[in-house]
Amino acid sequence: MKHITINGDRLWQSLMTMAKIGATEKGGCCRLTLTDLDKEARDLFVQWCEEAGCTVTVDQVGNIFARRPGRHNDLPPIMTGSHLDTQPTGGKFDGVFGVLAGLEVLRTLQDHNVETKAPVEVSVWTNEEGSRFAPAMMGSGVVAGRFTLEEILAKTDIDGKLFGEELKRIGYAGELPARQRPIGAFFEAHIEQGPYLEAEKKTIGVVNKGQGQRWYDVTITGRESHAGTTPMPLRHDALAAAARLINQVERIANTNQPHACGTVGFLQVHPNSRNTIPGQVTMSVDLRHPDDTILSKMDRELKVFCEHLPAEVNVEVKLEPIWYYAPVIFSEQCINAVREGARTHGYSHMDIFAGAGHDACYIADFAPASMIFIPCENGISHNEIENAEAADIIAGCNVLLSAMLERANA
Amino acid sequence: MKHITINGDRLWQSLMTMAKIGATEKGGCCRLTLTDLDKEARDLFVQWCEEAGCTVTVDQVGNIFARRPGRHNDLPPIMTGSHLDTQPTGGKFDGVFGVLAGLEVLRTLQDHNVETKAPVEVSVWTNEEGSRFAPAMMGSGVVAGRFTLEEILAKTDIDGKLFGEELKRIGYAGELPARQRPIGAFFEAHIEQGPYLEAEKKTIGVVNKGQGQRWYDVTITGRESHAGTTPMPLRHDALAAAARLINQVERIANTNQPHACGTVGFLQVHPNSRNTIPGQVTMSVDLRHPDDTILSKMDRELKVFCEHLPAEVNVEVKLEPIWYYAPVIFSEQCINAVREGARTHGYSHMDIFAGAGHDACYIADFAPASMIFIPCENGISHNEIENAEAADIIAGCNVLLSAMLERANA
């Protein structure tokens, strides 16, 4: 079939329109999952899909599927998609690009009256970010069977609000069973969120692997007492202990280079008063590595440190692993379709691994999947200044179009 | 005059009644300054004082004065007092004991129809704790001239609420000018909040000194980015930098023993999301020492560390000294009156210094002052489990009565 291309201006305009929902002063987005803003973004996406002639269904965990029929609608769909929720101080492209690139593919097929052999679907996955409700990637995780629907509906945010209640409240608790179903191929277009494509001056990242991750909740319990009258040797300072752990997480990552990451992104102090020695600290730990052997080694190093910390600083330390996923190997068929797409359009490209968790990593559990990366400025994301070039956005979407067409007509 | 004693049951009952206002599940109190609970506590105190035949006045910063006339009301009053506000997870005795011990002295003088030569006053000082509005000891600080009324009324809490507005809201923005006036002697009875009296098995601490303090606000600015895709060497992690500073504050205190204290009690992370590298951390630092030379050395050590931190971890560090007061030397006359009071009642006693800041330390700027300490269980305060023995409470109040009578009739 002839080699068509997407409408770059339309894609860019859609991105900028969507970015107004939850727009922050610094040019980013704060659109936390299952909030009124998330509902507004979902409603706009659904409206756009229906205007593009698609049928929209929603499953029990709030995932949205916009379907464009093919010649053989009994064939498993060729699917793309990502997420519309953002970090508290997130950007305009993380997730949203993958969703609206999918929409642009649908619109382009419409423009050119292309009839595919298999049906084509664009999906929006619920709570990919995991910042309001942990863990991340809940929507794709439930469908893949990584989590049960029940456990996810019962999750609470920091104010104690229930995931299930919030999902109903915004009107996205759907009927469709949230479970595995046949998918012919799944592609997720996404900004790299890292520095490699930019450094190598490549337009397209052909993603062949997803990095492994381990998430933990840590509770350090000491004893509150007066900051001026409690001699140093008699203290049970939960924050002083937390500081040692933060430094250790950094050390574990630095001693397992290249590629190891270790982060404490969340920390709360109780009672958090300047002249009271902190009695309790709750914090998160995030360890990542593309090689599972090294990730397990990092996990052991963290556990050993937490076992020895109490003796050193007179506190109790509770280390709770809350999430693990092993490195993901993507499908050769899909990886080749992406590489071929880049060649078709003459874009420079390189193989790369995904440093972040992505819905595609869970879909890969039960369907052939891979990802398409484009560069983002200085590799920065999860930040209001996150930025990507229109040219790269358009390139990524053209590669997605080609890869989906190749799979949809195979 | 004959040697009278206070009514211990009445004092204990008053303490327990006051403790119900803002009572916490764990048996402590959360009665933050200028809240509805603070108003409730103030109203009860005023009612009790009026029932004890006192005239009550309130000054422009919300300090309350309950006056019992003497034979010569042109003489400067003999005053006692402390505070009714507590830490977020404070106890039943810190501050409240000093206020209600003063009330019990008034009631006892009433019971025995004692007419003193000089008038006697009991004071409640606004925002001693400094946890809702920093710095601490605002009420006594304004009267002493350490702060201007204007700067204090303009202070804001973490929600941006104005001190001046909140003071009006609870109805304690009084008429009396908040400035120095003649005071014959000032005594503050207080729990030690430290381990020394208990360790030495002494009932009364004759307080001869107040420890020096330096408070700082620190803002560490890094750069938010994705926890999974930002290689360790490219990070600007504000929390990793904060952890180094927390450890250093501890190190500064430990290397300046005995008596040095260093605490980070308050810390907030932004954006505080588990998979985003923290872009900013705001935190407090509290350094204390009874010897000003050593306190200045600690201050220099902190400043030098903060100057070198950015180079080490790619962040900006803003260290802002927000409060300093030099060690306080209390009045010989008052110290002797307290020691003599302990002897009169046959209580074991020792000289001791105040580790915490107290209103008496500011009153000492312009009037003869000292303090009376009693033991508290395990030296713990600023904690809901803060506890003191009724016997010690009563002993401290009897010493206060004797010391005030000695000064009031001198």
For residues A255-266, give the mean pLDDT: 96
Question: How buried is residue A409: exposed, middle or buried, by Cβ count under 10 Å (0-12/13-18/19+)?
Answer: middle
Q: Cα–Cα distance between B307 and B249 in angstroms, integer?
A: 14
CA distance B26 to chain A (A): 13
Q: What is the pLDDT of residues B342-353, one digit of tens each?
A: 999 999 999 999
Query: Which 66-105 residues of chain B touch chain A by CB within 8 A?
Result: 87-89
**Which residues of chain A lie closer than 8 angstroms to B269, CB-CB?**
265-267
Please compute the mean of the pLDDT values over residues A207-233 and round it to a whole number: 94
User: Which of chain B's residues have a Cβ under 8 Å away from the Cβ of A244?
Assistant: 243, 247
Which site among A215, A263, A286, A380 would you substitute to test the B interface, given the most B Cβ atoms closer than 10 Å to its Cβ? A263
Q: Is the pTM of this model over 0.95?
A: no
- Residue B1, pLDDT > 70, answer no
What pLDDT sits at residue B2?
Answer: 53
In this structure, what token pair is assigned to residue B171? 């109805």
Interface of A with B in 212-251 (CB under 8 A): 213, 215, 223-232, 234, 237, 239-240, 242-244, 246-247, 250
The per-residue pLDDT for range A16-63, each reduced to its tens digit, is 999 999 999 999 999 999 999 999 999 999 999 999 999 999 999 999
User: A232 and B254 in contact by Cβ < 8 A?
Assistant: yes
A372 token code pair = 């398409």
Percent of chain B with pLDDT over 90: 92
pLDDT reading at A113 higher than 80: yes
Please list every residue in chain A whose beta carbon sits closer than 8 Å to the beta carbon of residue B253.
Answer: 232
- Rounded Cα distance between B139 and A195, Å, is 54
Chains A and B form CB pairs within 8 A to the count of 263
Q: How far is A274 from chain B (nearest CA, A)?
A: 4
Does the distance separating the beta carbons of B262 and A228 come in below 8 Å? no
Cis peptide leading into residue B310 (ω within 30°): no
> B199 exposed, middle or buried (CB, 10 Å; 0-12, 13-18, 19+)?
exposed
Domains and CATH numbers, chain A: 8-211+327-408 (3.40.630.10), 213-325 (3.30.70.360)
DSSP string across A158-218? TT--BHHHHHHHTT---SB--S----SEEEEEEE--SSHHHHHT-SEEEEEEE-EEEEEEE
Mutate to test the interface with B, among A229, A313, A376 (most CBs of B within 10 A): A229
The band of A381, judged by pLDDT with boundaries at 50, 70 and 90, is: confident
**CB-closest option in A88, A229, A278 to B193:** A229
Interface contact A267-B272, CB threshold 8 A: yes
In the numeric block, which tokens belong to residue B399? Answer: 């010493």
Neighbours of B183 (CB within 10 A): 18
Q: How many residues does chain A have?
A: 410
Residue A325 has pLDDT above 90, yes or no: no
Give which of A2, A408, A381, A401 is closest to A189, Cα–Cα. Answer: A401
Q: What is the pLDDT of residue B325?
A: 83
Q: Are the C-beta atoms of B63 and B173 separated by less than 8 Å?
A: no
Q: Which of residues 6 through 35 in chain A touch B, CB cutoff 8 A?
A: none
Which residue shows structure tokens 């009578």? B405
Mean pLDDT of B234-261: 97
- Three-state DSSP state, B239: helix
Which residues between 347 and 386 in chain B have a beta carbon less than 8 angstroms from any beta carbon of chain A? 355-357, 379-384
Q: Per-residue pLDDT for A245 more than 50?
A: yes
CB of B202 within 8 Å of a chain A CB? The answer is no
Cβ distance of A288 and B228 shorter than 8 Å: yes
Of A89, A242, A272, the CB nearest to B224: A89
**Is B160's Cβ below 8 Å from some Cβ in A?**
no
Chain B contact for A192 (CB, 8 A cutoff) = yes
A193 in contact with chain B, both atoms CB, cutoff 8 A: yes
Measured between CB atoms, does A276 come within 8 Å of chain B? yes
Q: Which residue in the set B234, B242, B266 is minimally distant from A272, CB to CB? A: B266
CA distance B312 to B48: 58
Among the listed residues B235, B305, B314, B313, the one whose alpha carbon sits nearest the alpha carbon of residue B264 = B305
Contact residues, A window 41-70, toward B, CB-based 8 Å cutoff: none
The answer to whether the CB atoms of A232 and B279 lie below 8 A apart is no
* Mean pLDDT computed over B39-58: 98
B134: which 2 tokens? 């920093």
Euclidean distance between CA atoms B32 and B40, whole angstroms: 11
Per-residue model confidence as pLDDT tens digits over A393-404: 999 999 999 999
A40: nearest Cα among A22, A58, A14: A22
pLDDT band at A3 (very low <50, low <70, confident <90, very high): confident
Interchain proximity B271–A242, CB inside 8 Å: no
> Residue B238 to residues A140, A241, B259, B314: CA-CA distances in angstroms?
32, 17, 31, 9
By the CB < 8 Å criterion, does B138 face chain A? no
CA distance A113 to A107: 10
Compute the mean pLDDT over every residue in chain A, rounded to the nearest whole number.
96
Distance from CA of A134 to the nearest CA of B (A): 9
Which residue, among B259, B357, B358, B260, has the nearest Cα to B302 in the 3D structure? B260
What share of chain B in percent tops pLDDT 70?
A: 100
- Considering only A228-232, B247-251, B284-288, which range has the smallest mean pLDDT? A228-232
Per-residue pLDDT band at A1 (split at 50, 70, 90):
very low
pLDDT class of A240 with cuts at 50, 70, 90? very high
Residue in A232, A239, A247 nearest the CB of B267? A239
Q: Is A314 on the interface with B (CB under 8 A)?
A: no
Q: Determine whether the interchain pair A243/B244 forms a contact, defined as Cβ–Cβ distance below 8 Å.
A: yes
Q: Across the interface, do A243 and B240 touch by the CB < 8 Å criterion?
A: no
Which of A224, A277, A383 is nearest residue B225 as measured by Cβ atoms?
A383
**pLDDT band at residue B380 under the 50/70/90 scheme:** confident
Residues of A in contact with B356 (CB under 8 A): 226, 228-229, 275
Among the partner residues B87, B239, B275, nearest to A136 by beta-carbon distance: B275
**A276 membership: H or E segment, kind and range:** strand A276-277
Per-residue pLDDT tens over the stretch B358-370: 999 999 999 999 9
Residue B382: predicted pLDDT? 84
For residue B57, the SS3 value is: strand
Q: Report in angstroms the alpha-carbon separations of B227 from A138, A229, A384, B387.
A: 18, 39, 15, 44
Distance from CA of A176 to the nearest CA of B (A): 30
With beta carbons under 8 A apart, name residues in chain A contacting B129. Answer: 273, 275
Three-state DSSP at A58 gives strand
Does the interface ipTM go beyond 0.95? Answer: no
Helix B332-345 and helix B390-408: axis angle, to 10°?
130
At a CB cut-off of 8 Å and minimum separation 6, what does A208 contact?
Answer: A329, A330, A335, A351, A352, A353, A370
pLDDT at residue number A2? 53
If DSSP codes are grouped into helix, strand and coil, which group holds residue A55? Answer: strand
How far B60 CA lies from chain A's nearest CA (Å)? 26
Q: Which among A268, A274, A384 has CB closest to B215? A: A274
Q: Among candidates A360, A357, A377, which has minimal Cα distance to A369?
A: A360
The Cα–Cα gap between B45 and B71 comes to 25
What are the chain A neighbours of B240 within 8 Å (beta carbons)? 246-247, 250, 264
Please give, rounded to a whole number of angstroms, the shortest distance from the CA of B396 to a CA of chain A.
19
Q: Give B91 to chain A, closest Cα distance, Å.
A: 10
Set of chain B residues whose Cβ sits within 8 Å of the Cβ of A137: none
> Which residue in B has a C-alpha nearest to residue A215's C-alpha?
B274
Radius of gyration of chain A (CA): 22
Minimal CA separation from A112 to chain B, in Å: 37
**Selected residue with higher pLDDT from B356 and B240:** B240
**In chain B, whose CA is at the least distance from the CA of A276?**
B265
CB hemisphere CA count around A272 (13 angstroms): 13
Q: Say yes or no for a CB contact (<8 Å) between A277 and B288.
A: no
Smallest Cβ distance to B263: which of A211, A234, A277?
Answer: A277
Distance CA(A341)–CA(A318), nearest Å, equals: 49
